[in-house]
Amino acid sequence: MKKLINKPEDVVKEALAGMAAVHADLINVDIEQQIIVRKDAPVKNKVGVISGGGSGHEPMHGGYVGYGMLDAACPGAVFTSPVPDQMLAATRAVNGGAGVLHIVKNYTGDVMNFEMAAELAAAEDIEVVSIVTNDDVAVQDSLYTAGRRGVGVTVLLEKIVGALAETGAPLAQVADMARQVNNHGRSMGMALTACTVPAAGKPTFELGEDEMEIGIGIHGEPGRRRAKLVGAAEIAETLTTPIIDDLELKAGEQVLAMVNGMGGTPLIELYIIFNELERILKGKSISITRSLVGNYITSLEMAGCSITLIRLNDELIKYWDAPVHTPALRWGR
């Protein structure tokens, strides 16, 4: 194992310390409790928006804490759900009196622990609504889930919902927007290599030199199938077609398209995948109205990519375009 670390058990806390030093103008980091909170939290009469999950997916979620996105994030150990106490501490920290939205990826540990945190918050008279993202079309059930996994849509949802929350919209409206985005978005990913969890010290799975894994999750868990490596055009077709079919996208519709790197794929290759994605959608008269290309929800150093499409309307475009200022995503402010 070759990694830029000291001790495997110190990875998360030392990374949080580094993040706190770099982004002191945007976030406050409680290294002991392992929560990241936007600098001006709690914002009075604003719905607090929080999310969390295992570390190793950076910049998700801590990189999205700030104006126009998340109010707080709870990072667990690498590929391990945060605990209810973290989520409760984050919920308290962002409670400005208008309630708190929990954005939860559909992984068994995340769902269970966020549920417990919401119950504890309710006992303190903090109103909490939880939204579970489940956009992965690759598999119905997996090692970590009952039902579809929550993946790329989570990031885009956090941006859109965070923008709505900044307007002072009530909790019910913010939660409805989150449900709408989740329902209108689908994702699928693939891997060229596995990743190595620091505490394990070895790759999560083995792939031959001429093999790729289709439909992987963000923890390196298996997908739909293992296949021989093919070119970018065929890979893009393999990922995009199930998304289009599942969303029942039709000619004349417009989408937000994200080509996401899994952590170890260079940007030049992600642009090649995006070029193929645009070709596929253009051939079906589906317009890419907004786009994002880069590493936004990763799996440590895994080489590979995922594609996410969200069906857009004028309202979603408005909140996507709204200003955002976080460590990892910023525009318009």
Q: Which residues are catalytic?
A: 57, 219
Q: How far apart are CA 163 and CA 174, in angstroms?
A: 9
Say which residues have a Cβ less than 8 Å from residue 46's Cβ, sequence separation at least 6. Answer: 96, 98, 165, 166, 168
Bridge partner list, 132: 104
Residue 128 near residue 156 (C-beta atoms within 8 A): no
**Chain centroid to CA 80:** 15
Residue 50 near residue 87 (C-beta atoms within 8 A): yes
Q: How far apart are CA 225 and CA 220, in angstroms?
A: 13
**Chain centroid to CA 228:** 28
> Within a 10 A sphere around the Cβ of 242, how many other Cβ atoms?
18
| Cβ burial 94-117 (10 Å sphere, 16+ → b, else e) | bbbebbbbbbbbbbebbbebbbeb
> What is the DSSP track for 213-226?
EES--TT----SEE
Token reading at 89: 């501490």
> What is the DSSP track for 151-200?
-THHHHHHHHHHHHHHTT--HHHHHHHHHHHHHTEEEEEEESS--B-TTT
Bridge partner list, 129: 101
Token reading at 41: 């939290």
> Within a 10 A sphere around the Cβ of 129, how many other Cβ atoms?
17
Residue 239 near residue 190 (C-beta atoms within 8 A): yes
